[in-house]
Structure 1
Amino acid sequence: MHDFHTHFIPNEVMDWIKDNKEKVNASWIKKNPNKEEFLSINDKWAFELKEEFIDAELYLADKERVGVTHAIVSPIPQLFLYDFPSEITSELATVYNQSLAKWCQSNSKQLSGLATVSLNNPDLAARDLRDAMDAGLRGAIIGPGLNGKLLSDPSFTPFWEEANTQKAIIFIHPLLCEDPRLNQRMMPNLIGVPWETTISATDLLLSGMLDTYSDVRILLAHGGGFLPYQIGRMNKGYEMWPLVSNALQKEPTEYLKDFWYDTVLWNPNTLEYLAKSVGEERIVPGSDFPFDLCAWPPASNFAKGANSLLGIK
């Protein structure tokens, strides 16, 4: 069984953060005596440094224990560092990508990896992606946009062109939504996270980019956010408004089948609807391990999607 949605932080990355803690405003906080320390970068999105995030042997043992034979490992979104100068972002990306590539190479039957890139400098991001894939990684994990710019913004063209040339897997993973209305009851995570994916995926669909960069394999986290479940509304807008249909070659419903989706939905009925809407070959097992909200082990019955995303026939 594959797991396409897991996160890990290699020792080299933790060492870099400690060596550059002033530069990236890193802080370690003990919030609860029964939990590990929380790590915060630039006073944002603190997360518990569970042992499974940083202990390679424990990560591999847990994976084996639940029957995951091969995991696709991604950098943790809190360490994208998009809000720093791109020189800093690229420096950590290089360390992260090289260390992940080395780990995956040493455990090639059990692991594949995705890179992090300097999305705050798309030319650098293209280079980061190329170097990472030359080192053996399968693509990159990126956020849903940057500084109010969605991923269809022309400024990101160098990155998308490189991703298309490389036929890369691009895993779009949300960051916490900063809408002030959500600042209670864990709503930034509960609905803000899938909402960010919804905005990003809708933008990519309506922009026509899925036709322009048809060799990029775009994976959407958490079952695609809310997009698959409101596609009827988008289809109706396609029928009514040229602003919706102008850039498209087919109905929005058909473009749903051009993405891939993980199974991190925690609801079999929702997952069944998604499979009927996009086809099982577009869904891959995912867990979001080892975050608190993880589906561990992941749903195991989507081998077709795993093979199609990895290019296995």
Structure 2
Amino acid sequence: MSGEPSAPVVDVHAHVLLTEVEDEVSGAPGLRAQLELDLLRQGAESSAVSGRMVAERMHRLTDLDARRRDMDAAGVHAQLLSPSPSQYHYWAEPGPAWTVALAANRGVAATVAADPARFHGLGLVPLQHPELAAAALDDALDRGLAGVEISSHAPRPDGGTVELSDPRLEPFWQRAARRGAVIFLHPFGCTLGARLDRFNLANTVGQPVENAVALSHLIFSGVLDRHPELRVLAAHGGGYLPTYLGRSDHAWQVRPDARECAHPPSSYLRGLWFDSLVHTPEALRALVAAVGSDRVLLGSDHPFDMGVTDPVDRLAAAELSAADQHAISTGNAELLGLAPRVGRDRNKQ
């Protein structure tokens, strides 16, 4: 890291792996079928590489001392912890799905409680069962978590799909808006399927596609019109959407079937939040130009290989103004209630 930050730095995109969740699903009906589907979509070679990568980084996903060492090396004071997206387990039927969500909420809350000065947390909801989502969100918030992490869609056990525009999710969005919950949109899996089964395309291309699709569902369906107080934070800089919204605006102007939202799609960027994980200085400058520096927060995807170990240095490399850098690294997290709970004394555990 190239120097000490002038204010506490918050990383809003960092993952934990929860053994209590894996214990709940071990041997459960449906898990094997989901793993086989994941293998089909990712391909054997990419799946093998990912498996070795996770094994090598397991201690950084589960051990707080290892995590704090990584944070200190990167110049990060606080992290917003979210479960590894592999632990969504959207294949589960209602009973097991509820158990998974509560186990995740308990696990993240316990991790945060072990060092509340440096960690905030997000839980899970069973998105594939919309009727349970609001109650699971309440459970997460009542445990002191900042909100929940969701994927871009949820493939239901019965073969259907829950998109974020699904009317059955209205109670969930209403509850999230009323309680000020952070909803971290982080895709897992891509509906392009086996077309992305090599070269790690399921992640490299699939994740930005899924971000764009999910955000488009929220925008075009009017969810953000009905719930303007929603605090949706999109991983990976929102994927392909923020810097290519001119086409969406054009569709809104010329297509009657694209007019369920009250305003041009680009106008909704100012009501969303985005992490900074876009990998190049040019892409970060483009994201800031599209959404405003007050809507971008630092993100690393710690500790996975598609993340970065130097998010603060990468922010500096974009050569934004000092005010913009402060907003992204510190100020915007404070606006979302994610500021470090103590000063910058890193010896306090």
TM-score, normalization by structure 1:
0.88
What is the Cα deviation at residue 135 of structure 1?
0.8
Q: Which amino acid aligns with 1:87?
A: G
Q: Name 2:167's counterpart in structure 1.
A: 154
Q: Name 2:182's counterpart in structure 1.
A: 169
Does residue 275 of structure 1 match 2:268?
no
1:204 aligned residue (195, 212, 218): 218
| Alignment RMSD | 2.0
What is the Cα deviation at residue 9 of structure 1?
1.8
What is the Cα deviation at residue 294 of structure 1?
0.7
1:287 aligned residue (291, 300, 303): 300
Please state whether the residue corresponding to 2:311 is helix, strand or coil.
Answer: coil
| Compared CA separation, residues 190 and 93, structure 1 to 2 (3 A) | same
Q: Which amino acid aligns with 2:304?
A: F
Please state whether the residue corresponding to 2:219 is helix, strand or coil.
Answer: helix
Which whole-Å deviations, capped at 9, do the CAs of 1:72-131 have from their partners, x for residues lacking one?
A: 000111111111112112212212211211221231110000011111222322111101
What is the Cα deviation at residue 137 of structure 1?
0.2
Does residue 116 of structure 1 match 2:138?
no
| Compared CA separation, residues 98 and 250, structure 1 to 2 (3 A) | same
| Contact 2:120/2:338, CA 8 A, preserved across alignment | no
Moved more, 47-56 or 213-222: 47-56
| Contact 1:164/1:215, CA 8 A, preserved across alignment | yes
| Compared CA separation, residues 10 and 57, structure 1 to 2 (3 A) | farther
What is the Cα deviation at residue 60 of structure 1?
2.1
Cα distance in 1 for partners of 2:26, 2:126 equals: 19
1:42 aligned residue (32, 35, 41): 35
Please state whether the residue corresponding to 1:115 is helix, strand or coil.
Answer: strand
1:7 aligned residue (15, 19, 37): 15
Q: Which runs of 5+ in 1 are unaligned?
A: 28-39
Does residue 255 of structure 1 match 2:268?
yes
| Contact 1:10/1:56, CA 8 A, preserved across alignment | no
Which whole-Å deviations, capped at 9, do the CAs of 1:166-213 have from their partners, x for residues lacking one?
A: 111101111121422222211111101110111010111111111211
| Alignment map for 1:158-237 (pairs within 5 Å) | 158-179=171-192, 180-237=194-251
Q: Name 2:87's counterpart in structure 1.
A: 79
1:23 aligned residue (20, 28, 40): 28
Which whole-Å deviations, capped at 9, do the CAs of 1:2-24 have from their partners, x for residues lacking one?
A: 1000000244345x25xx42116
Q: Name 2:333's counterpart in structure 1.
A: 306
TM-score, normalization by structure 2:
0.79
Cα distance in 2 for partners of 1:287, 1:64 equals: 14
Q: Which amino acid aligns with 2:168?
A: S
| Contact 1:41/1:78, CA 8 A, preserved across alignment | no
Cα distance in 1 for partners of 2:168, 2:68 equals: 39
Cα distance in 1 for partners of 2:120, 2:183 equals: 14
Cα distance in 1 for partners of 2:264, 2:68 equals: 43
Q: Which has the higher helix share?
A: 2
| Alignment map for 1:88-127 (pairs within 5 Å) | 88-127=96-135
Cα distance in 2 for partners of 1:54, 1:82 equals: 22
Cα distance in 1 for partners of 2:306, 2:151 equals: 19
Cα distance in 1 for partners of 2:286, 2:331 equals: 17
Q: Which amino acid aligns with 2:332?
A: G
Q: Name 1:36's counterpart in structure 2.
A: none
Cα distance in 2 for partners of 1:89, 1:64 equals: 36
Higher relative contact order (CA 8 A, sep 6+): 2
Cα distance in 2 for partners of 1:304, 1:212 equals: 27
**Equivalent residues, number:** 296
What is the Cα deviation at residue 62 of structure 1?
1.4
Q: Which runs of 5+ in 2 are unaligned?
A: 1-8, 40-46, 156-160, 316-324, 340-349
